[in-house]
Chain A
Amino acid sequence: MATNNSFLPKSSDMYELIESFLQAPTYHLIFEALLIIWIFKLIFFSTEYRPESVLTEKEKAELIEEWQPDPLVPDVDENHPLLQAMEKNIISGKPDKYVMINNKSSLNMATLNFLGMAGNAEVEAAAIKTLKKYGVGSCGPRGFYGTMDVHLELEEKFAKFMYCEEAALYSYGFATIASAIPAYSKRGDVIFVDEGVCFSIQKGLVASRSRIKWFKHNDMEDLERLLLIQQDEDKKNPKKAKVTRRFVVVEGLYFNHGDICPLPKIVELKWKYKLRLFMEESFSLGVLGANGRGVTEHYNISVDEVDLIAASLENSIGSTGGFCCGRKYVIDHQRLSGLGYCFSASLPPMLATAAIEALNIMQNDSSILQRLRENCRKMYDGLSMISGVEVMGDPLAPIKHVRLAEISDNRELDMQTLQRIADHAMENGIAIVLARYLEKEEHKLPPPSIRISICFMIGIKVKQSERPRTTNIVYRHLYDITIDRNDKSERVNWNKCLFP
C-alpha cells in the first residue's frame, strides 16, 4: 500500500480519473493510439518541403542551360546620339531665357522652366536667406528629424493654393507619383491607365504590382470598353470585386504628347464605374487655368472630384521635389506608406523656400500665366503653318511636339532628320531638342519628335522677330531636307506657307 500511495496522489479525484481511464471505451483508446502514432510520425518521419516549388530538376537544368549572361555595363556605341550631344553641347553659365551652348548664346527653347522661376532674382534671394539659416541639407527623412517649419509651410501653402485639405511634400519630382501609386494600389488591384503617360507614372505602375489595363491615348470610348469588361467580371465574382480596388491614372497635360486629358468625361466615368482617380499634374501646374491651378481649373471642375493630384515642383515652380494633394484621409496615408516620402531625405529647406517664393510670385502676378498662354498659342499657330510637320497637342500646352507628317518605318532615319533640323536651329541661335526616351523601357514609344518648350519670357520682352524666326528655321530646314524626296509641285505650296 505504501508504494501505491507514493505513485498516486492523495486526491480521490485523480484515483477516479485513472479508474475511468482503465474502463475507457475501446474505440476511444484506439483513436488515441492512432493519434499518438501520428504524432510520432509527425515528429520523427516528416521532412520539410515546400509545396509551391513547381520546377523539377530537369526544368531547372534547362533554365540554366538557356541563360545567357549579359554584360553589367553594355557597350555603348560611340555614335550614340546622347554621347554626341554631350560632347557637342557644353553648357556654361546659368541657363535662363538664353543659354550659353559652346560659348554661343542661344534662345532657350528646351527648358521646362516655363515661368522663369529658376533663376528668378527674388526666388534666389529667398533661397539664400534660408540657406544661411538652415544650411544645405535637411539631414533626414520627414519622419526622422527632417521636417522643418518651411516644409510645413510649403505643404500648407500648396494645400491652400489647390483648395485641398492637405498636401504631402516629396523631395524628388519623379518619385512623387511613382511612390503615390504603389502606396494605394496593391497586388490584385486594377489600374486603368492612358497609354501616353510619362515614364515616372509607368514606374509607379510597375512598383504597384497591380493589374494594369492600358487604354488608348485620350480615348474615352476605349476606357469605357475596358470598364465594361471589368464590370462584367465583377458581376461574375462579387466577392472578388469587393476586395479589388479600381484606379484610373491619367496625366493632366501629357508630357509625351502635349495634349490635355478630357477630365470632365473621366470624372463622369469615375462616378459611373466607381473608380479612384489619380491625376499627375507636373506639366499643367502653373500653366493651365487662370491662376495656374492646373487641369481642374482649366475645365472648372472641383478639385474634390479628383482623389489625388500629384505634381512635380521641378517645372513651372522651378524648384526641386513634388507634392501630392487631396483629402486629408487620402494624403495622410502616404506619410507612412509613400516609400519616397518615408525613406528619402526631405527637401532641402532652401529649395522649399524657393518653391514658396515662386508660388507667391505666381499668385501675385497672374499676368505671367497670361503671357505664357499667349506665347503657347502664337507658337502653336506658327508651327501649324509649316507643312511637312505636324504639331501634336493642345494650343495651350507649353510643350510642343513637332513630328514629321509622314513617319517612315525607320525610326532611326526620322530621328536623324529631326536632329538635322535641331542642329540647324542651334546654328541659328535657337536651342531645341529631340524628345528622348529610354526606348526599350517605354510602354508605348511615342513617334520621334522635336520637343519645343515655351517660356513666358520669350516673344514679349524680347523683340517680336524671335517667334517667327523659330518657325522659319524649322520650316526652311525641312524644305532643304525634303526637297530630294518630293516633286516640284509641292515645293510651290511650301513657298506659300513661308510667305503667307
Chain B
Amino acid sequence: MNIGTATSEENPTHVYFGTRGFWITYTIIVLFCHFLLLSMPFFSTALAWTVTCVFHSAFTYIMLHNTKGTPFGTPEQGKARSQTTWEQIDCGQQFTPTRKFLTIVPIVLFFLASFYTKYDTVHFIFNLGALGFGVIPKLPQLHGVRIFGINKW
C-alpha cells in the first residue's frame, strides 16, 4: 500500500479488512490454527474447538478493540490515535460487509464449538464468554464508548 502519495488512502486501516482475499485468508488462518490444536495428541476434539473459540476471541479482542491508532505512517497527524482498530474500519461506517463478516465469524465458531463439545455446560460457559468478547464490543451502540474509561487514553 502506498502511504503518503497523492492517490493513497489517508489511513490504510480504514480499508485493508475489506481488501480482496482478506476474508478467505482470515478464514484459512482460523482453520489452520484449529487444525494445529487438533493435531496436538493431548487435545480432544471438544477441547480443541473451545480453545480455538477462546483464542480467536482473545486475539481479535486485542487486535480490534484494544489496539488503538494505526501502524502506518499516515499524514493525518494522529487522527486515529484515539480510535480502536474496529472503530477505524470503513471510516467508522456501521453495518458494512466487512463489519458483518467480522461479527459473524465468532458466532459461527460458537455454533461449531457447541456442536463439537456436545453441548457440555462447562464448555458452553467458556464459549459463551468468548462469544461475548467477540461480539458485544462490535455492537454499533458501543462505537466510541469506553466503559469505565478503560483504554480511554
Co-assembled chains A and B: yes
For residue A17, CB closer than 8 A to chain B, the reply is yes
Contact B144 A51 (CB under 8 A): yes
**A39 and B107 within 8 A (CB):** yes
**In the assembly, what is the distance between CA of A122 and CA of B4, in Å?**
41
**Cβ-defined contact, A243 with B114, below 8 A:** no
Q: With A28-B114, A186-B81, A242-B153 known to touch, is A50 a contact of B4 (CB < 8 Å)?
A: no
The 0/1 profile, CB within 8 Å of A marked 1, for residues 58-102 of chain B is 000000000000000101011101100000000111111000100
B124 touches A28 (CB 8 A): yes
A407 to B91, CA, bound (A): 52
By a CB distance below 8 angstroms, the chain B residues around A6 are: none
Q: How far is the CB of B2 from chain A (nearest CB, A)?
A: 13
| B4, A342: Cβ atoms closer than 8 Å | yes
B95 x A42 contact (CB < 8 A): yes
B81 → A minimal CB distance (Å):
6
A window 295-313: CB within 8 A of B: none
Give Cα A148–Cα B121 distance, bound, in whole angstroms: 71
Per the 8 Å Cβ criterion, residues 1-53 of A in contact with B are 13, 16-17, 20-21, 23-25, 28, 32, 35, 38-39, 42-43, 46-52
Could you tell me if B94 and A17 are in contact, using CB atoms closer than 8 angstroms? no
Q: Does A187 contact B (CB under 8 A)?
A: yes
- Complex formed: what's the CA distance from A39 to B100 in Å? 9
A240 at the interface (CB under 8 A from B): yes
B35 interface hit (Cβ, 8 Å): no
Residue of B nearest to A31 (CB): B128
Contacts of B22 in A (CB 8 A): none
Contact B77 A186, beta carbon cutoff 8 Å: yes
**How far apart sit A52 and B149, CA to CA, in the bound complex (Å)?**
20
Q: Which residues of the other chain, B, contact A240 by a CB distance below 8 angstroms?
A: 152-153
Report the minimal beta-carbon distance from B127 to chain A, rounded to whole angstroms: 10
A336 interface contact, C-beta 8 A = yes
The count of chain B contact residues (Cβ–Cβ below 8 Å) is 34
**CB nearest neighbor in A for B140:** A51
Our pick among B75, B100, B124, B149 for the contact of A43 (Cβ within 8 Å) is: B100
Indicate whether A395 reaches chain B with its CB closer than 8 angstroms.
no
Is the beta-carbon distance between A35 and B107 smaller than 8 angstroms?
Answer: yes
Which residues in A have their C-beta under 8 angstroms from that of B119? 20-21, 23-25, 28
Contact A51 B77, CB 8 Å, known A20-B119, A42-B104: no
Contacts of A39 in B (CB 8 A): 104, 107
- Tell me which residues across on chain A come within 8 A of B91, comparing CB atoms: 50
B73, B77, B110, B115 — most chain A CB neighbours (10 Å): B77
Residues 240-269 of A at the B interface (beta carbon under 8 Å): 240, 242-243
Q: Is the CB of A161 closer than 8 A to any CB of chain B? A: no
Binary CB contact string for chain B from 120 to 153 against chain A (1 if under 8 A, 0 otherwise): 0100100000000000000010011000010011
Q: What 0/1 pattern do residues 311 to 351 of A give for CB contact below 8 A with B? A: 00000000000000000000000001101001100000000
Minimum Cβ distance to chain B for residue A22 (Å): 10
A80: chain B residues within 8 A (beta carbon): none
Which of B78, B115, B116 sits near A209, CB closer than 8 Å?
A: B78
Residues of B within 8 A of A49 (CB): 93-95, 140
Inter-chain contacts of B79 with A (CB < 8 A)? 187, 209
Q: Please give, as numbers and ranges, the residues of chain A lying within 8 Å of B73 by CB-CB distance.
A: 336-337
- Nearest CB in chain B: distance from A29 CB, A: 9
Q: Could you tell me if B77 and A187 are in contact, using CB atoms closer than 8 angstroms?
A: yes
- Report the minimal beta-carbon distance from B113 to chain A, rounded to whole angstroms: 11
Contact between A48 and B94, CB atoms less than 8 A apart:
yes
- Contact yes or no, B78 A187, CB < 8 A: yes
Cβ of B92 and Cβ of A52 under 8 Å apart? yes
Query: A32 CA to B115 CA in the complex, in Å?
Result: 11
Q: Which residues of B contact A242 (CB under 8 A)?
A: 153
Task: Specify which chain A residues have a CB less than 8 angstroms from the CB of B104 in the assembled complex.
Answer: 39, 42-43
Query: Do B110 and A188 have beta carbons less than 8 Å apart?
Result: no
User: Given contacts A13-B45, A42-B100, A48-B95, are A187 and B81 in contact (CB under 8 A)?
Assistant: yes
Which residue on B lies nearest to A241, using beta carbons? B153
What distance in Å separates the Cβ of B76 from its nearest Cβ neighbour in chain A? Answer: 8
Q: How far is the CA of A186 from the CA of B110 in the complex (A)?
A: 41
Contact check: which of A21, A23, A207, A239 meets B153 at CB < 8 Å?
Answer: A239
What are 20 A-B contacts defined by CB distance under 8 Å?
Answer: A13-B45, A17-B116, A20-B118, A21-B115, A28-B114, A28-B119, A38-B107, A43-B100, A47-B95, A48-B93, A48-B95, A49-B95, A51-B94, A51-B144, A208-B77, A209-B77, A237-B153, A239-B153, A240-B152, A240-B153
For the complex of A and B, the 3 pairs showing the least CB-CB separation, nearest first, are A186-B78, A20-B118, A46-B95
**Given known contacts A52-B92, A207-B77, what 20 new A-B pairs fall within 8 Å (CB)?**
A16-B118, A21-B115, A28-B114, A35-B110, A35-B111, A42-B103, A46-B94, A48-B95, A49-B93, A50-B91, A50-B93, A50-B94, A51-B92, A51-B94, A182-B77, A186-B78, A187-B77, A209-B79, A337-B73, A343-B4
